[in-house]
Every structure is written in C-alpha cells, then in structure tokens.
C-alpha cells in the first residue's frame, strides 16, 4: 500500500447514445417519480419515492443529511469538474480495460461520473445506483448521452445502531479536530460484535470484519439477513463522496467484495476540508499511527483555532465553530463524518489486495502562484461556499452539537458570517499575492482515491 501519482490523461473516446432509463429532476413543483423512471428501480416502489421538505430543501429520505434538489445537483456538477481537474482529466486511478464488462457507480447522484465512464468505455454495461431521484436528463444534456442503466435503491440495509453509548462518552472518545481519518471514530457495540477475533495486521486497534460474512449466523432465517443481492457481479465498483451515507462500513465493503467478480476493482473517492493553519491531514503512509484520543475538547466554543506566528488573527472563527458543531451532529446522528471510512484496513480486512491511495492537495481560493492551482482553487472556493448550507442545515437542526439543537435561523446566520469570513480571507490573500507578500493561512484540502483488487 502506498502513494501513487495521478495517471496521465486518457485518450479521447467517442460519445454514444441510447440511454433507456432516465429519472426526472426533483423540484418544489413535483416529488413523484415518472412511470419511466420506475422501470429502473429494483427494491423501491412508487409509494417509497416520497421526498421530505425541510428548511427549504428537498431530501430523499429522513436519514441522509444531504439534499437532492436542483441547487444540490448544480453544485455536484461543479464538484465533478473539480475532481476531474484534480486528476488532470482522469475519471479514476483504476486502469480501465475492455475486460471490464460491468461497472457500478454506487451513490451516483445526478450521474456525472457514470455518464462520463460510459462515454469512455462504450463496450461496458454501466449502472448508476442512488437512493434519490435526480435529473438525469440535465446531466446527459450537458455531458452527452451515454448508455447507463439508472436504478433507485437504498443500499443502507443496516441503518444505525440501536445500542449507542451515552453521547458525552462518544464525544469524549473522539477528538473531532484530529480523528477525521483514523479507522473507526465511533467504536459502537454493533461493530464490536461483528469484529474479528484476531487483530488486523495493518492496525491492531481497529475493529475487524470477516471478508466472507458480516452478518449474525445465529438467526432462524438466514435469508432475512441484510444484503444487496445484485443479479450479477461487477468488474469495477466506484463510490465517491459517500461520507455520512453509512454507519456500518465494514458491511458495505463486505458487500462490495461479494459483488465484485474475481480480479475486479473497487475505488473509493472523497475528501475532507480542514481549516488553514490547523494541519490535521494525516501522512499518506498507511503506517501512520492513530491520533492520540486523550484530553478531547468537545465544546465547539472551547475548540480554539491555531495561534498565529505573528499578530495576524485566525480568519475563520465562525467556520471553526460550524465545523466542530457539524462533526458533533454527525456523531449524534450515528453516521460520523470524516474520511475514516477510507482507512486502507477496511479494504484489506474485507479481502482486497493491491490496496493503495492517491492523494492530491486541492487549494481553496486563488492564493497559489501556479495557474492550474489557481483555476481549481477558484472553482473549489465557489464549491465550499455553496456546500455550507446543504452540509450543515439538516444535521444541526435535527441533531445539534454537544450542547443544543440549532434553529434554522441560527444556522443561516452562522453560514452568512462564515461566507463573509471566506470572502474577506480570499480578498486579503489575493492582495498579498499581487504584492508578493508572504501568505499566511493558506487553505487546501486532501482529495483521496483509494483502490483495491479482489483476488482471482
């Protein structure tokens, strides 16, 4: 397991058309799925396709924290372009070959990656699965048609634990400023019961899951055990931006392993934003030790931003409060955020081989001198501004932080202050760059592509 540079750009391939299943765009005027879209569903029926309206946004169910409305689809289109720029035009770090006959985009959202990979691989059957209805027509109109089979399916067959420790104990065990990529920030009773008897070779402190089965064998009817039960295996399963989607990631990776053909590949892609000046990004080395869990600070008001080397103040006090409140709310929801689910031991414990991770630092804002970095930083700045409300609103108004539930107005006011902090910081960084001055509080985040192969 090691760090790899992004592969070179792909050669251009021809576009093709013929998609037979499309899903309509969700908006405030209609929340019903069309009859055409129902042809692509597997487990969800018409009565299941109901949207939830909260705080002016549309959600696909009562548990996932991100909305599925038009505004979010527009943001995800921008976000897709940032991923492409980060990999210099590549869709994936996995070597795609004509031997890959079936490709699955798990949690496809509006389908940007699925459409693009279908255009790149006209020989392959590409399936995009999501639990919500998105406007696939708009995606294909902007990117070009592609033969993608769209399915609506909620793959979270596990839910969250019914047995959860006291919240204060959970927050004490997780240092929210540092435990963003360690193996398991919520060492829940259910995960302990599903753990392996023998420790992992790659992390002796990590709870383990058998590759052959993540389920309780001592049940009267094994057929009722949770699972995905796809009709056929895949040669490549891709999932991107899925933090907060599942609570039981051991089960997710076990299902992916079972539904891959021998020699098939998994790729997991995500990122986690950290505020500048507080270097929380772990070393790319898989042997990096786990962060110290002692002396945590659980009150966002007590989470002090890093001290400057001079008198220049920390530019994001409101964003720091929102960040820690968001992480606490995710713990309370049972689906902790962060990129802990991309720890390589999840894949090795599930049975995958040749596990490796590619890291790409992406700037926020136009402070870099390099023109390519400035371009991607400008787009990511807009993305960060637009992601504040969808990331924060549902979690803070439903679960709140360690002290209280937030109101919609409180969240909105804090977001407005946070956006002003971002704009003021960006303007100051631009002025310093133009004057050739040293730029403090440079802001960047680590994008990650983790892949692994199922043995032959």
Ordered structural domains, the chain, with CATH: 1-456 (3.40.50.150)
Distance of CA 187 to the CA centre of its chain: 20
Q: What is the pLDDT of residues 347-361, one digit of tens each?
A: 999 999 999 999 999
Per-residue confidence (pLDDT) for residue 302, from 0 to 100: 44
Q: Give mean pLDDT, residues 62-74.
A: 94
Measuring CA to CA, how many Å separate 241 from each of 1, 80, 184, 323?
22, 10, 18, 18
Say if residue 275's pLDDT is above 80: yes
Distance of CA 391 to the CA centre of its chain: 11
State residue 276's pLDDT score.
Answer: 86
Helix axes of 112-120 and 70-86: crossing angle, nearest 10 degrees: 50
Which pLDDT band holds residue 167 (cuts at 50, 70, 90)?
low
Classified as helix, coil or strand, 44 is coil
Higher-confidence position of 160 and 102? 102
Query: Which helix (DSSP H) or strand (DSSP E) does residue 54 occupy?
Result: strand 52-54
The span from the CA of 391 to the CA of 454, in Å, is: 33
**Global pTM value:** 0.77
Task: Give Cβ neighbours of residue 235 (< 8 Å, ≥ 6 apart).
Answer: 99, 100, 101, 102, 103, 124, 260, 261, 263, 264, 265
Residues with Cβ within 8 Å of 20's Cβ and at least 6 positions away in sequence, in order, are: 149
Closest by CA to 441, choosing from 269, 298, 275, is 275
Of the candidate ranges 167-181, 302-316, 330-344, 425-439, the one whose mean pLDDT is the lowest? 167-181
What tens digit of pLDDT does each residue of 391-431 get?
999 999 999 999 999 999 999 999 999 999 999 999 999 89
Q: What is the pLDDT of residue 244?
A: 93
How confident is residue 174, by pLDDT bands cut at 50, 70 and 90?
low
CB distance 235 to 102 below 8 Å: yes
pLDDT at 438: 80
At 4, the pLDDT band (50, 70, 90 cuts) reads low
């Amino acid at each position: 397991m090691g760090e790899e540079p992004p592969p070179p750009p792909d050669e251009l391939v021809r576009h093709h058309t013929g998609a037979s299943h499309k899903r309509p765009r969700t908006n405030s005027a209609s929340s019903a799925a069309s009859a055409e879209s129902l042809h692509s569903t597997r487990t969800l029926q018409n009565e299941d396709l109901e949207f939830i309206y909260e705080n002016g946004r549309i959600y696909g169910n009562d548990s996932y924290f991100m909305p599925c409305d038009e505004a979010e689809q527009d943001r995800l289109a921008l976000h897709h372009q940032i991923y492409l720029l980060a990999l210099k035009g590549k869709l994936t770090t996995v070597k795609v070959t004509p031997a890959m006959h079936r490709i699955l985009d798990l949690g496809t959202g509006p389908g940007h990656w699925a459409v693009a990979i279908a255009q790149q691989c006209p020989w392959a059957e590409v399936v995009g699965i999501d639990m919500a209805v998105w406007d696939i027509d708009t995606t294909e109109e902007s990117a070009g048609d592609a033969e993608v089979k769209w399915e609506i399916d909620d793959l979270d067959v596990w839910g969250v634990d019914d047995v959860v420790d006291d919240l204060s104990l959970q927050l004490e065990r997780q240092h929210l400023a540092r435990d963003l990529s360690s193996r398991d920030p919520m060492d829940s009773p259910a995960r302990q019961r599903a753990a392996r008897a023998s420790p992992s070779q790659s992390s002796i402190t990590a709870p383990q899951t058998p590759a052959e089965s993540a389920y309780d064998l001592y049940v009267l009817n094994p057929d009722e055990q949770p699972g995905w039960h796809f009709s056929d295996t895949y040669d490549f399963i891709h999932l991107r931006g899925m933090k907060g989607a599942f609570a039981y990631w051991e089960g997710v990776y076990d299902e992916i392993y079972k539904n891959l053909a021998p020699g098939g590949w998994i790729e997991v892609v995500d990122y986690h934003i950290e505020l500048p000046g507080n270097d929380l990004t772990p070393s790319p080395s898989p042997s990096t030790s786990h962060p110290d869990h002692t002396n945590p600070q659980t009150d966002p008001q007590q989470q002090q931003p890093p001290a400057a080397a001079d008198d220049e103040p920390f530019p994001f006090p409101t964003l720091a409060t929102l960040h820690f409140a968001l992480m606490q709310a995710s713990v309370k929801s049972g689906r902790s955020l962060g990129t802990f689910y991309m720890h390589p031991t999840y894949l090795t414990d599930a049975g995958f081989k040749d596990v490796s991770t590619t890291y790409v630092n992406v700037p926020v804002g136009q402070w870099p001198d390099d023109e390519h970095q400035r371009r991607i930083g400008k787009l990511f700045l807009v993305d960060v501004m637009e992601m504040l409300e969808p990331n924060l609103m549902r979690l803070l108004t439903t679960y709140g932080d360690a002290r209280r539930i937030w109101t919609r107005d409180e969240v909105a006011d804090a977001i407005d202050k946070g956006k002003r902090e971002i704009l003021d910081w960006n303007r100051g960084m631009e002025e310093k760059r133009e004057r050739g001055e040293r730029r403090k509080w440079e802001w960047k985040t680590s994008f990650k592509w983790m892949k692994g192969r199922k043995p032959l």
